[in-house]
Structure 1
Amino acid sequence: MSCRRFRSVEVKSVHVTMASRKTAHPNRATADKYSVLLPTYNERENLPLIVWLLVKYFDESGNNYEIIVIDDGSPDGTLEVAEQLQKIYGEDKILLRPRATKLGLGTAYIHGMKHATGNFIIIMDADLSHHPKFIPEFIEKQKEGNYDLVSGTRYRGNGGVYGWDLRRKLISRGANFLTQVLLRPGSSDLTGSFRLYKKTVLENLVKRCVSKGYVFQMEMIVRARQLNYTVGEVPISFVDRVYGESKLGGNEIVSFVKGLLTLFATT
């Protein structure tokens, strides 16, 4: 199936979902609201699908939500796609908070949180590697133990990684192993970026974190443990991106090792 034809199917699916949303969920919770932060860069192919899935699982679970798209000047037209999605789903559900250029993941979260109206924040990748079907499990887990944050783990229970070659698996496993040995954070997946936070907790952690890139997610867990925040885990299936290219390269690996050693020396 060609990309053009596939996008046509996406649009039809989106309109079907929109029609189904006209009837409010009878059990929709009003006390809590979940703000999903979606930093994007060249994700025009993936964004319609991830938004459709988010809307589907939030509507089915009856939880109140908003999706905040933080596009960092994507040259592929990601923002234009986001604008179309906003027209379909409504400005109350799709918030566009673009930036002119790539400024880093941590600053993207800070930027998104300034506009978030939920008391819980969900961070995830927009490339379909994180499936929204796990979000109701995150919410259930958080309520179960009143956790300050809930992290998706690829390395516990039924979690797993699919679509990676041996090199990527070794890098991820090695990074988590080194982190466990050096920092003993008490969590099984330090480099994952699919998490649910209490908004106040995320705001506090972001202020304290100094790392960038892939080390940022690891430092968030380490700092959370230092501050005695409670951390729950939910096993997830991680699937390599469907469209686009991975942003993990040699420079990111070197930066990760440097960041890990710096964090070890300062914590």
Structure 2
Amino acid sequence: MKLSIIVPAYNEEKTIWNVLDKLKSIELIGGFQREIVVVNDCSSDNTEGMVKKFIAENPFVEISYFRHEYNQGKGAALHTGIHKASGDYIIVQDADLEYDPREFNILLKPIINGFADVVYGSRFMGGKPHRILFFWHTIGNKFLTALSNMFSNLNLTDMETCYKLFRADILKNLTLVEKRFGFEPEVTAKIAKVPNIRIYEVGVSYYGRTYEEGKKINWKDGFRAIYCILRYGLGN
């Protein structure tokens, strides 16, 4: 079995090496092998140089690298990564290390035990470190999750989480169109409509960034998320 780890990257030269080094070092449970798929969304800094240098210095690590010729958004980078991934399961790892790759095994357990097809890693389930930031972001996330749950009939605690682990064949069969951060509500709405889908949720740590540290999502993305919840919750 192989886990494809998609790393969308935009202007992450300060963290991308550390991310790839952590991904290289983790030991996956259940005999899972790893494939790292980096998608550079036309960064204007030295993200590409750092990735290529890492690949050159780690020839035995399975890493695929792709670059967009113009900036399209995180969702578009994920579309590319999903298309290029060759693993049996797919997970997203942001290039900013707000999430800890060592916790992949927490998400893999329900898969390995035969219970789940999709596993969400929730920042809001107890027992894990959580950096204290942005009251209104937290309120916004919980509002969007509740709204999403109303239309999907799920009882998630964190729809907007980056850590979503999918069975690859299910994810690849979805028609995904959102180019930016609308990916999260869109994929949730569409995955919830898959017949007999088994979705689990586990707690994960969260080491959030401030805007000065490179955080990119903003209030406009929140309004887009509401639109996506309504559009894909009511339609296709």
Q: TM-score, normalised by structure 2?
A: 0.88
Cα distance per residue 1:107-138 (max 9 Å; x no partner)? 32332233323222111211101110111122
The alpha-carbon distance between structure 1 residues 163 and 42, as it changes in their structure 2 partners (threshold 3 A), is farther
The answer on 1:219 being equivalent to 2:186 is yes
Aligned to 1:238: 206
Shift of 1:161: 3.7
CA distance in 1, matches of 2:79, 2:182: 17
CA RMSD of aligned residues (A): 2.3
* Matched position secondary structure for 1:54: helix
Kindly indicate whether the alpha-carbon contact (under 8 Å) linking 2:4 and 2:91 is maintained by their aligned counterparts in 1.
yes
Q: Unpaired segments of 5 or more residues in structure 2?
A: none
- State which of 184, 193, 203 in structure 1 corresponds to 2:153: 184
* Greater relative CO, 1 or 2 (CA 8 Å, sep 6+): 2
* Matched position secondary structure for 2:26: helix
CA distance in 2, matches of 1:119, 1:60: 14
Moved over 4 A (4+): 59-62
The answer on 1:138 being equivalent to 2:112 is no
Cα distance per residue 1:186-230 (max 9 Å; x no partner)? 32221112121111111012x2x3444333212212222211321
Q: Which is greater in Rg?
A: 1
Q: How does 1:1-267 map to 2 (within 5 A)?
A: 32-58=1-27, 63-90=32-59, 92-159=61-128, 161-205=130-174, 207=175, 209-228=176-195, 229-241=197-209, 244-266=213-235
Amino acid at match of 2:186: E
| Identical residues among aligned pairs (%) | 22
Amino acid at match of 2:191: A
**Higher relative helix content:** 1
Cα distance per residue 1:148-170 (max 9 Å; x no partner)? 21111122243564142212212
Which shifted more, 209-218 or 79-88? 209-218
Q: TM-score, normalised by structure 1?
A: 0.79
Aligned residues: 234
CA distance in 2, matches of 1:75, 1:102: 9
CA distance in 1, matches of 2:154, 2:186: 10
CA distance in 1, matches of 2:8, 2:149: 27
Kindly indicate whether the alpha-carbon contact (under 8 Å) linking 1:213 and 1:256 is maintained by their aligned counterparts in 2.
no
CA distance in 2, matches of 1:202, 1:137: 20
